[in-house]
């Protein structure tokens, strides 16, 4: 099968974890969509990911081996720049797409008012078995359709939860994203890591509507290694929340005083909770105390 000169969708896989890659990769290759490419950018230290890609012998796939590794933002940014499709669909290497994911989200983006297409995502465990929803993966509505972008962004910011989804969940037009010098997840000169996806979604939602499928179109895998990384980055993730709320407010989100105060209160409550963790280093306690003081001043 010959690869079209200009595939409509680029499925972009920033690869690192060998353990789950084969499942993610196969879910991309099994998409029911007619016109798509798969681009794999391999940051892993071993050869298992390359071997998996080569064994597929799929002309829709382009593979890049990174030596040295590009790192988190570097790998995503490289893929974004390398994509040939008008529509971009990231796929984390531990997640899975359901067969109609790409076709359904691409169809939604035929509406020029829609800047971001997403869906409810199902949660799976390390073995690929169903797992209960997290607060963030709970359905925001039982109806499939479009919603005002600023309303969806405010819902996430006020509740302190990414209802929109991880990179695997969302599709968007590449032309709607302006890259800053720092890369795809840099906004206003600040690079985001913990909230990298939400940083990008808010920039898109500021310019139009969002499509939401109440039927899950992707599967978000929760596993011990992922949860440990989140714990290790706890304080940095909390400080990012305030930076993101302020950046979002500058482009029209959290427009009312009540919305802004509620978002700040969520961040402060998280900082206070984290500050009480046993064994937290004094420097991190001080950083969280300073964050709370800053929040109090902003809320006054």
- Both 89 and 133 in a single domain? yes
8 Å CB contact between 268 and 300: no
Last residue of a domain, one of 222, 252, 273: 222
8 Å CB contact between 10 and 33: no
Residue 3 lies in a domain: no
Residue 4 lies in a domain: no
Residue 36 lies in a domain: yes
Tokens standing for residue 223: 């596993």
- Both 170 and 256 in a single domain? no
Tell me: pLDDT of 4 over 60. no
Tell me: pLDDT of 228 over 50. no
Burial of 12 (0-12, 13-18, 19+ CB in 10 A): buried
- Both 49 and 194 in a single domain? yes
pTM of the model: 0.94
CA distance 252 to 125: 37
- Both 201 and 292 in a single domain? no
Instruction: Encode pLDDT of 42-90 as tens digits.
Output: 999 999 999 999 999 999 999 999 999 999 999 999 999 999 999 999 9
Last residue of a domain, one of 203, 222, 241: 222
- Both 100 and 119 in a single domain? yes
CATH code (residue 169): 3.90.550.10
Tokens standing for residue 75: 């790998």
Instruction: State the pLDDT confidence band at 98, using cuts at 50, 70 and 90.
Output: very high
CA distance 141 to 231: 30
pLDDT at 225: 67
- Both 218 and 242 in a single domain? no
8 Å CB contact between 275 and 286: no
Domain boundaries, position 295:
232-299
CB neighbours of 76 closer than 8 A, spacing ≥ 6?
Answer: 12, 14, 90, 167, 183, 184, 185, 196
């Amino acid at each position: 099968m010959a690869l079209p000169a200009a595939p409509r969708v680029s499925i972009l896989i920033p690869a690192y974890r060998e353990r789950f890659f084969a499942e993610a990769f196969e879910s991309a290759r099994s998409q029911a969509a007619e016109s798509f490419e798969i681009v794999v950018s391999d940051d892993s230290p071993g050869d298992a990911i390359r071997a998996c890609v080569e064994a597929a012998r799929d002309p829709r796939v382009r593979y890049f081996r990174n030596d040295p590794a590009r790192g988190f933002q570097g790998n995503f940014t490289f893929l974004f720049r390398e994509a040939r499709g008008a529509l971009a669909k990231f796929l984390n290497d531990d997640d899975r797409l359901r067969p109609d994911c790409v076709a359904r989200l691409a169809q939604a983006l035929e509406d020029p008012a829609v800047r971001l297409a997403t869906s409810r995502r199902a949660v799976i465990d390390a073995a690929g078995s169903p797992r209960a929803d997290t607060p963030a993966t709970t359905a925001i509505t039982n109806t499939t359709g479009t919603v005002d972008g600023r309303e969806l962004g405010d819902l996430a910011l006020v509740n302190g939860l990414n209802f929109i989804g991880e990179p695997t969940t969302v599709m968007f037009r590449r032309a709607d994203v302006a890259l800053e010098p720092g890369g795809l997840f840099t906004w206003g000169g600040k690079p985001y890591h913990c909230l990298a996806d939400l940083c990008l979604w808010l920039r898109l939602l500021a310019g139009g509507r969002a499509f939401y499928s109440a039927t899950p179109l992707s599967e978000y895998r929760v596993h011990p290694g992922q949860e440990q990384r989140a714990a290790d980055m706890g304080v940095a993730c909390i400080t990012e929340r305030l930076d993101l709320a302020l950046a979002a407010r500058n482009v029209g989100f959290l427009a009312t005083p009540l919305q802004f105060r509620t978002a700040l209160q969520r961040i402060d409550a998280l900082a206070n909770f984290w500050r009480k963790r046993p064994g937290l280093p004094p420097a991190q306690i001080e950083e969280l105390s300073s964050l709370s003081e800053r929040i109090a001043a902003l809320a006054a």
